[in-house]
Amino acid sequence: MTPRVKEILGWYGADSPGTLTNLARLLNHGRLGGTGKLVILPVDQGFEHGPARSFAPNPPAYDPLYHFQLALDAGCNAYAAPLGFIEAGAREYAGDIPLILKTNDSDVLRDDADPSQALTSCVADALRLGCCAVGFTIYPGSAHELEMYGQLRAYAHEAKANGLAVVVWSYPRGSGLSKAGETAIDVVGYAVQIAAQLGAHIIKVKLPSAHIEQEAARKVFDAQKIPISTGAERVRHIVDCAFAGRRVVIFSGGAAVSDKELLEEIKTIHEGGGFGSIIGRNSFQRPRAAALQLLGEVMDIYGSASP
């Protein structure tokens, strides 16, 4: 085990050997194994956005096994998906790649100003399928946020009691926020802190903008002269919000963009000290060869020396 992975595992002193072993599985797998960086393939979009919107741009992606093989061939650290997709390939790919079971999900069939997520699988499913972690989404800013926080606490407790790691999608959203506020630097930092306080080992957020949503936060940013003018400075602040970088923060790849745009974002995350990316639509919506090429370039950036 590399010194960097040992250092990261040392941040989780309250966890059992089983949980630390599963964290190590994530950190030691794939092309970035041992570096402390992560590139994860998430495919929950079929549930979250609908199958045609998710998979029609690259029809082979309708097949759950396509994603297992893509994550494996690309050298990703892990593959994350809801229950159905994991069940479809867990036996065939048993032991080939670390799996993260996404345990709650929502859909876009209703336009809800205050979104929530349904509990769609459980810790027992993750254990049965050989997963190393459970994934859970919370929406800070939604009218249902407190219910989701309570659900996450219960899931995290059960997961850790059974030696699993906890990965949290912390996405500010809801009637308590403006649209710009969903990616505001103060709000994304708050979302990271909430997820860390609720017991997350790995936290997934969107890249923040320089917008400040809350006036009380603006006064502090101004008074303390917190640097947020560049993307790398904003990433660095988000990492600070995760217990001064003692919790792993990775960033969402978001909707499909050009290779150039995505790679510029990756360079920004790397420069700012982020731990990696979780890239779904920007990989599986491309033809397989193009996806492998792009993911390889992403990993080259994360595998390079820190700026």
Rounded to the nearest 5 degrees, what angle is found at the Cα of 171, between the Cα atoms of 45 and 301?
A: 75
- C-beta atoms surrounding 157 within 10 Å: 13
What is the greatest pairwise CA distance in the chain?
Answer: 56
Rounded to the nearest 5 degrees, what angle is found at the Cα of 203, between the Cα atoms of 69 and 211?
A: 115
Rounded to the nearest 5 degrees, what angle is found at the Cα of 89, between the Cα atoms of 87 and 93?
A: 130
Determine phi and psi for 72, rounding to 5 degrees: -70, -50
Rg over CA atoms, the chain: 18
Of residues 204, 206, 219, 267, which has the active-site annotation?
204
| Token pair for 151 | 């659900």
155 burial (CB, 10 Å; 0-12 / 13-18 / 19+) is: buried
Q: Is 219 a catalytic residue?
A: no
* Cα–Cα distance for residue pair 275/302, rounded to 1 Å: 8
Q: Which residues are catalytic, by number?
A: 204
